[in-house]
Structure formats: structure tokens, C-alpha cells
């Protein structure tokens, strides 16, 4: 199994659109961050987690030629506003939509934001733009062919939840400030855990450094990566703070795991 971090930045990326690098050293290329998406290649299948606004450049840089399924953690803009770019990818089956997965709230919100992606419209060049995502609401583990995917609930602040995903011995936990106790059962025996870590100080919707490291100490993955890094999170400074089995994410960082 190959896992590639397509994007490692917060909702505005690094630098922000106004050129603000915050405390990140602009001379270190690992500080130039696009919005978060993840690619998982396993058993000849290519699974995308989230469709960031930077998806086109991310897939080009990773030389992605096909997709088999898309998993959504939630429907915030920085995780889904690259969704239109998926229509240019070859379909797994000719003229058939890609299967995508998320919880009920996420799927419903995506349908409102991007109706034409899920339903045939009859405006303009509608006949050229046929629906290309087939949504599946997930409440428990499911399979993409013979690949088990385990979703687990996460808290993303007041009245907001996201899904984390486990595939094989890898788990992905972005946009989370609290992990419900029942979700920790899905985080045992991990070779790789990719964890939200927006900033140094406590935040009401995202994990901060010491909280993420506290979770990592409890879960005990072989290796952990901190992602969704904001403009205050300089790569070298954060790396020097991390224990040996933890590192900051950067765009293009990848791992090969025995699945």
C-alpha cells in the first residue's frame, strides 16, 4: 500500500492568498502547502480522500492516471471544492460514475453545493455534463472490492463531526479536536496515523500540537504524521519538537506500507 499526502496545509494553504507565510520560512519548500487531500494506492485500486481546491495540481504532481473511489471526511470548502476536477478522470467503468462515500450530512451537503455532479441537469450544455459521482452514505465498515474501509466518528467543534478512515494498517484523522472514546478502538496496531495539527495553541475546531502528540502517545502507531498545518507551523521548528516516530507532513510525502 502506498500513501501519498497530496496536500498538508490549513484551509487557506501556505502561503495565504495575500502572500502571508506567517511564521513559516518561505525558503523551505516543505512549508509551501496546498489544502489537504490524501491518496491511497492498494491492490491496484486508487482511493482519494477529500477533493481539495488544489486537486488538479495535486493529481498532476502525483502522476495519478485513474481513480477508483473517493472518500469524504466532511463537506467544508477546503476538503471538497476541487470536486469538479474529478470529472476529467477516466471512469472505472465506461460512462459509469465514480463511487464516493461519506456520512449522511456530508453527502446531503455535497448534493446541495454540487447538484450537477450527482443529478442530471437540463440547463445549457447539460447533455455534455452527466453525473459523475454515485454517493454512498456510510455508517459502518464497507468494502471497495476486497479492500475494507473503516470510517470512525470525530468531533470537529461545536455541532460538527467529521469521519476518520482506516484502510489496512493506516488511518487518517484530519479536522478533529476530540476523538470519541468509541473511535479509539479503530486506531490500534497502526503502522501509520496521519493526524490533524493546525497550530501550537489550543483551538475550538482543530487539534493543536500537544493534543495531537497526546493522542499519538495513547494510540502508539509505529509512525505518525501531523497534517493540516497552518501558517504558524514552520516545518523545521515543528520537526524539532516532535518525538522520533512523529514528523510534520509536507506535500508529496509518501509511505509504502505492507498492507
Higher-pLDDT residue of 88, 78: 78
The mean of the pLDDT values for the chain is: 95
**Predicted local distance difference test score (pLDDT) of residue 6:** 99
Is the predicted pLDDT of residue 9 greater than 70, yes or no?
A: yes
**Predicted local distance difference test score (pLDDT) of residue 116:** 87
Q: In sequence order, which residues have a C-beta less than 8 Å from that of residue 242 and are 6 or more positions away?
A: 213, 226, 248
Contacts 24+ apart (CB under 8 A), 240-247: 241/209, 242/213, 243/213, 245/216, 245/221, 246/213, 246/216, 247/223
Is the predicted pLDDT of residue 259 greater than 70, yes or no?
A: no
Confidence of residue 95 (pLDDT cuts 50, 70, 90): confident
**Predicted local distance difference test score (pLDDT) of residue 127:** 61
- Mean pLDDT value of segment 73-81: 98
Encode pLDDT of 108-136 as tens digits.
999 999 988 998 776 665 566 678 899 99
- Mean pLDDT value of segment 137-148: 97
Q: Which three cell numbers stand for residue 207?
A: 487539534
Main-chain phi, psi angles of 80, to 5 degrees: -140, -5
Share of the chain above pLDDT 90, in %: 89
Instruction: Report the predicted TM-score, pTM, of the whole model to 2 decimal places.
Output: 0.96
Q: In sequence order, which residues have a C-beta less than 8 Å from that of residue 94 and are 6 or more positions away?
A: none
Is the predicted pLDDT of residue 64 greater than 80, yes or no?
A: yes
Judge whether 170 and 191 are in contact, CB under 8 Å. Answer: yes
**Predicted local distance difference test score (pLDDT) of residue 126:** 56
* Domains of the chain by start residue, with CATH: 2-256 (3.60.15.10)
**Predicted local distance difference test score (pLDDT) of residue 125:** 58
Of 2-6, 68-72, 125-129, 192-196, minimum mean pLDDT range: 125-129
- Mean pLDDT value of segment 17-43: 98
Hey, which bits of the chain come out as E strands? 2-7, 37-42, 45-49, 69-71, 98-102, 133-137, 142-144, 147-155, 161-167, 170-173, 192-196, 223-227, 246-248, 254-256
Encode pLDDT of 200-229 as tens digits.
999 999 999 999 999 999 999 999 999 999
Amino acid at each position: 500500500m502506498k500513501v501519498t499526502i497530496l496536500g498538508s496545509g490549513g484551509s487557506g494553504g501556505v502561503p495565504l492568498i495575500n502572500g502571508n507565510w506567517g511564521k513559516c520560512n518561505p525558503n523551505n519548500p516543505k512549508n509551501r502547502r496546498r489544502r489537504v487531500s490524501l491518496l491511497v494506492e492498494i491492490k491496484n485500486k486508487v482511493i482519494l480522500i477529500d477533493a481539495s481546491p488544489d486537486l488538479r495540481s495535486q493529481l498532476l504532481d502525483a502522476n495519478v492516471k485513474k481513480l477508483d473511489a473517493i472518500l469524504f471526511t466532511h463537506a467544508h470548502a477546503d476538503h471538497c471544492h476541487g470536486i469538479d476536477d474529478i470529472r476529467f478522470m477516466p471512469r472505472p467503468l465506461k460512462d459509469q460514475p465514480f463511487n464516493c462515500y461519506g456520512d449522511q450530512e456530508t453527502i446531503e451537503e455535497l448534493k446541495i453545493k454540487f447538484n450537477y455532479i450527482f443529478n442530471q441537469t437540463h440547463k445549457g450544455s447539460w447533455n455534455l455534463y452527466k453525473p459523475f459521482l454515485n454517493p454512498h452514505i456510510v455508517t459502518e465498515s464497507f468494502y471497495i472490492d476486497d479492500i475494507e474501509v473503516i470510517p470512525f466518528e470525530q468531533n470537529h467543534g461545536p455541532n460538527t463531526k467529521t469521519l476518520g478512515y482506516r484502510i489496512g494498517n493506516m488511518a487518517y484523522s484530519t479536522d478533529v479536536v476530540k476523538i470519541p472514546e468509541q473511535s479509539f478502538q479503530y486506531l490500534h496496531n497502526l503502522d501509520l496515523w496521519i493526524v490533524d495539527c493546525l497550530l501550537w495553541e489550543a483551538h475550538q475546531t482543530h487539534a493543536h500540537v500537544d493534543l495531537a502528540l497526546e493522542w499519538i502517545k495513547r494510540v502508539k502507531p509505529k509512525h505518525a504524521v501531523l497534517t493540516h498545518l497552518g501558517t504558524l507551523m514552520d516545518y523545521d521548528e515543528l520537526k524539532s519538537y516532535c518525538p522520533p516516530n512523529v514528523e510534520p507532513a509536507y506535500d508529496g510525502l509518501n509511505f509504502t506500507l505492507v498492507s
